[in-house]
Amino acid sequence: MTKKLKRLLIPATALTLLLYGSALLALGAVIGYIATSLFCKRYINTGKIDLLIFDLGIGDWKLHLHHWLYGSLIIITVYFLGLFYKIPVFWIGALNGLIFHDLYTDEKWDEIIFKEEDSA
């Protein structure tokens, strides 16, 4: 499968599945994706806000909290607290848009714990 086809097929499939669930869920996902994209362009890419990278205190190992990770943690926490059905579907969709943005745009989305390379 070509890269161009993947870049079209993956979002189309995700949006179709969200629309199957609810129009508000899909709308929330689209708005969440766009809002995350604008936020990243304005603040993260310009260096106004740093990425959430923490030193683990074990050699050069670091922990990077990607936005797909904390979006997922919010959804999981809300679910286990029994609040999932009290939150409007739109906001669940918006969190899904936040998660999808990172998985779709960041080539290193899977690098959560990594060893910092020497800059020398």
Residue 26, pLDDT score: 83
What's the pTM value of the predicted model, to 2 decimals? Answer: 0.76
Q: Which residues of the chain have pLDDT under 70?
A: 1-10, 118-120
- Which among 57, 62, 87 has a CA at the least distance from the CA of 74? 87
- Give the residue extent of every domain in the chain: 22-115
Residues in CB range of 104: below 8 A, 6 or more apart: 10, 11
Instruction: Look at the block and give the residue holding tokens 């499939």.
Output: 13
* CA atoms of 52 and 41, how far apart (whole Å): 16
Distance CA 89, CA 23 (A): 9
